[in-house]
Structure formats: C-alpha cells, structure tokens
Amino acid sequence: MRVPVPPRAAVAIALAVLLAPLLAPLLASCSLTRPPVERATYVLAPVRAGSPASPTQPVALRVKAFRAAAPYDGREFLYRRSDGQLVADFYNGFPAGPGELLTAATTEWLKSSGLFRAVLEPGISVDAPYALEGSVLALYADLGDGKRPAAVLDVQVYLVRSMSAGRELALDRRITERVDAADAGPTALARAYNEALARVLTRLERELAALDLRG
C-alpha cells in the first residue's frame, strides 16, 4: 500500500533532488580550498666568529655525513616534559634533519677556522688522510626542570685516520651542551639551539687543534 506524501514534503524532496547537482561542486570546492597549516622552520647554522686558528694542521679533512639517533632524527622540535616524555611540535621545526644540518654546519665552521689545509664536504671525490664522523645523540628542548627552558644538544664525534695498513682512531669525543632559552617559544629555542651548536663546534675545534696530525 502506498503511503501518501504530504505536499510540503514532496516539494522539499523535489528541491533537494534538483539542487543536489548544483551544491555538490560548491561543497567540494570549500573542502579543497581549506588553507593548509603553516609550518615555521628555523635554521641551525651558527657562524664562527674570530680570527683563524693558529697553528694549523697541515692535512686535509673530510667531513662525513652525520647521523641522528631516533627519536631525534626528525625535523620537528622536540620538547621533554617533566614526566620525561618527548612531545613533537608539528608546527615548528628545522628545514632538514639534524644529521644533515650538523654536517653542513660543521663543514662550514671548520672551513672558516682555517685549521686544516682543506675541508671537504660529503660527496667530494678527493682523498683525504683524515675523516670526521659524528652522530647526533640528542636534540631537544628541556621544559621539565621547573626552571628556564633550555636547548640540549648531545653529539658524538670521531676522527679517523686512513693509512695503508688500515684505519686508526685519532679522536673519540662526546660533547654535550645545554643553553638556557629566554622563553619556551620557538624563536627563543632556535637561538638557544644555535648557541648550543656553536659551543659544541668551538670545543670540537679546540680538540682538533690540540692533536698532532700528519698526512
């Protein structure tokens, strides 16, 4: 048995059927034109200040690509809370991974130092008697000590000498720096990260300058 449809309901159904093809593209365009979430990136590239190193090492040095240990291998800023949990900030971070950024920063720093006869970045097909290798063990903002927020950078570096008889470890150092930030905002933390890396590279340069390196 057919149930009669009230006139008003019939009109509403007819209008819905007629307007559906017209409204569908409009609704789809609204969903497709939703503005993307903006993500801010901050460079990690401290600039070496001061005069060139003296005395210099009469050898060439190759900087190999640094690695970054998980969970510190991502681009997002990481915050360590008071409970020890690491929280990622998907709105603020670095333009590249920490390993890549530290490789570039270390190469430029040592070139500016004038400590070595030549400093070669990864990918250059020229032999060098010494190679610098490194790992980023930690890179995060510490927000959990109840004091001022701080940038923490922990790096392990190795200087390896290549010889006809094999390879020899000339330097093995772990360098950790902690720098207080003005506040917990990303801009202040980025400044603290750069200061922490500058301190790490200053200590590394000092360690390398103290060695008696030969070709």
Domains of the chain: 41-209 (3.40.50.10610)
Which pLDDT tens digits describe the chain residue by residue (215 residues)?
454 545 555 444 544 444 455 555 555 555 555 666 789 999 999 999 888 877 789 999 999 999 999 999 999 999 999 888 999 999 999 999 999 999 999 999 999 999 999 999 998 888 899 999 999 999 999 998 677 999 999 999 999 998 777 789 999 999 999 999 999 999 999 999 999 999 999 999 999 999 999 86
- The DSSP code for 95 is S
Burial status of residue 101 (CB atoms within 10 A of its CB: 0-12, 13-18, 19 or more) = buried
Q: What is the pTM of this model?
A: 0.82
Residues 56-94 as b or e (16 or more Cβ within 10 Å = b): ebebbbbbbebbbeeebebbebbbbeeeeeeeeeeebbb
How many residues in total does the chain contain?
215
